[in-house]
Amino acid sequence: MTTSTRETTTVCLPALGEGVDAAVITRWLRDPGDRVEAGEPLLEVATDKVDTEIPSPASGLLVDVLVHEDDSVAVGADIARIASDAAPEVVPPTDPRPRADDRVAAAPTDTAAPDTQKLSRLRRTIASRMMESLQTSAQLTTVFEVDVTAIARLRQEHKADFLARTGVKLSFLPFFARAAIDALADHRVLNASVNADVTEITHHPRCHLGIAVDGERGLMVPVIRDAQDLRIDGLAQAIADKADRVRAGTITVDELTGGTFTLTNTGSRGALFDTPIINLPQTGILGTGAVVERLAPTRVDGALGIEVRSFVHLAVSYDHRVVDGADASRFLGSVKHSLENGFQTSDLL
């Protein structure tokens, strides 16, 4: 959003997504006097949902910065002025506040001194939401162990062809996602949201699947809309795309809203399982642990044997105000059955 005169362009804070009416200026990427090109990043801002870069709307010289780092600015407000090359006068900023790198307490002569850093706006938002979730809902976690040997064999047999055809690696995650989506169709209380005073529950007819992604700036949960319509290949591509854009900082605010159920891959760094925190107002979140191989007893035609098999722990946290333990167990039972019996080669083609 910009307004122009003959010689200068006034840069305004653009719309940042539905329901977002303000942002905090976290960092200016150019100083007054710097030349900027249209479309290149000019500054970084943070909202309650996402950190993002704002591109320059015009080419020229950045002559004035009207707001400063850590200032909160309304959408549509003037934030800077850019002059054409014919009007190069530079107006220094009215507030010479230093552009620190958030390191605020390190003695230069003492290499052993503590390194204190300010928490980013996004990190503070994550902290607030986690505490809100725990304090306003009755959370409980149920854990199942699942034998995923059949899926491990499918992956091994088809991973090269899958990568060549889709452009993404075949991990366990799209199988977990597909099994959860199928189970949610029969266990609707977990694909739901609860209003603030717990007087109404909304069962969602479609699954907008949130995928927790560990990005450089913190945890974000982009949403795959209408995930129930996607096969394994579509889910794998969507998960990879969302994760890549979170880590590149190009995910949009709208992509971080509207989820009905969340999947978090807590085993990506080796954890067997944990107790994930619900993404309110959703009623459930599924955590997938690390897939591990171990020796396990088997019976074939009554004969006892030992073989190497692959196992994973699945942990579903749920809002016990509206979801009972039996509901959670039935949901995980459906997921377990799908993962142990429900996938074939045809699901990958």
State the residue for tokens 């329901």.
19
Active site residues: 320, 324
218-238 pLDDT per residue, tens: 889 999 999 999 999 999 999
Residue spans per domain, the chain = 2-90, 130-348
CA distances from 145 to 272, 290, 341 (A): 10, 11, 14
Give CA 292 to chain center in angstroms. Answer: 25
Query: How many C-beta atoms surround the C-beta of residue 62 within 10 A?
Result: 24
**Length in residues, the chain:** 349
| pLDDT score at 103 | 46
pTM recorded for the entire structure:
0.78
Q: Which CATH number fits domain 2-90: 2.40.50.100, 2.40.420.20, 3.40.920.10, 1.10.3720.10?
A: 2.40.50.100
Superfamily of domain 130-348 in the CATH hierarchy: Chloramphenicol acetyltransferase-like domain (3.30.559.10)
- Checking DSSP bridges between strand 303-319 and strand 209-211, what pairing results, if any? unpaired
Q: What 3-state DSSP class applies to 327? A: helix
Residue 56 Ramachandran class (φ > 0 left, ψ -120 to 50 alpha, else beta)? beta
Per-residue pLDDT of the chain (349 residues; tens, 9 = 90+): 555 445 889 999 998 877 788 888 988 999 999 999 988 989 988 887 677 888 899 999 999 999 988 899 999 999 999 998 655 444 455 554 444 644 444 555 557 789 888 877 778 888 888 999 999 999 999 999 999 999 999 999 999 999 999 999 999 999 999 999 999 999 999 999 999 999 999 999 999 999 999 988 788 999 999 999 999 999 999 999 999 999 988 888 889 999 999 999 999 889 999 999 999 999 999 999 999 999 999 988 889 999 999 999 999 999 999 999 999 999 999 999 999 998 999 999 8
Residues 6 or more apart from 68 whose CB is under 8 A from it?
25, 93, 95, 97
